[in-house]
Structure 1
Amino acid sequence: MGSLYYGESTDPIHVEDRALAHLKVVISTKLRRNESFTLSWKHADPDPSGRSTIWLHPSIPLRFVFDAPEAPELSREWIEALAHSASSSGGISLVEEQVAIS
């Protein structure tokens, strides 16, 4: 389980390593372009049920921390889906990876 540290908060946002690796690519690309957007997710156990949204802006500190020492293989389809949602009015909604079955 990886962690995303946002702003000055010392409380991490816990995200599974593979999902966090994909988010890092999309978020880094958007922020490098000076684009602001939202990121929303459903709370995972043991947090109380619900969902959260944060506003991501290039001036706000952001740190990605991964548990696994090796980076996972990335899915172009998942990155494209996350990037598409990042450009929408609703921002990125962190959803499970959709695996195409042939």
Structure 2
Amino acid sequence: MGKLVYGGTTEIGFEDRVLAHLQIVVGLKLRRKEGFFFSWRDEQGVGDGRSAIWIDPAIPLLFRYSGGRHPSINKQWLEQLTLSSNSAQGLQLTEEIGALGADEVSADTPPGR
């Protein structure tokens, strides 16, 4: 399991595949210098509730992966997460959607390929 390190001190665990999708969506927002909320459902071990953080270009983020391979990217899920990030509620992590296979690209694949 990878980690999103927020502000240099707070570590939030996510599977590497989830983390790869988050890195792309968050990167798109931060390149435009946009702040936004990011929320997710907590695991049962920490209360089974929801958590949210404010993501801002001034707050350092580290995406730390546990595995050495780049996860494939599900374009359909990526689009859903991107749309969510532009809503008033901010980026809400949802379960992965879409067909696997044709909709997936390697994280190493340059855009447009």
Q: Same fold (TM over 0.5)?
A: yes
Deviations 1:13-63 (A, max 9, x none): 011110110000000111011011110001114222211000100010000
- What fraction of aligned residue pairs are identical, expressed as a percent? 43
Structure 1 counterpart of 2:35: 36
In the alignment, structure 1 segments of 5+ residues that lack a partner are none
Q: Deviations over 1:59-95 (max 9, x none)?
A: 1000001111011110111111101000000111111
Q: Which residue of 1 aligns with 2:2?
A: 2
Q: Give structure 2 stretches of 5+ with no counterpart.
A: 101-113
Aligned position for 2:91: 92
Structure 2: distance between partners of 1:2 and 1:19: 9
How many residues matched? 100
Which residue is 2:50 aligned to?
Answer: 51
Determine which structure has the larger strand proportion and give its number: 2
CA-based RMSD of the aligned residues comes to 1.3
The structural deviation recorded for 1:98 is 0.9
Q: Which structure would you say has the larger RCO, counting Cα contacts within 8 Å and 6 or more residues apart?
A: 1
Distance 1:66 1:83 in 2: 21
Shift of 1:99: 2.7
Distance 2:48 2:72 in 1: 30
Q: Which residue of structure 2 aligns with residue 76 of structure 1?
A: 75
Supply the distance in 2 between the matched residues of 1:96 and 1:71 (Cα, whole angstroms). 19
Q: Please, what TM-score do these two structures have when normalized by structure 2? A: 0.83
**What is the SS of the residue equivalent to 2:30?**
helix
2:15 matched to which residue of 1?
A: 16
Partners of 1:74 and 1:67 in 2: CA distance: 17
CA contact (8 A) 2:74 2:98 kept: no
1:66 is aligned to 2:62: no
Q: TM-score, with normalisation over the residues of structure 1?
A: 0.91
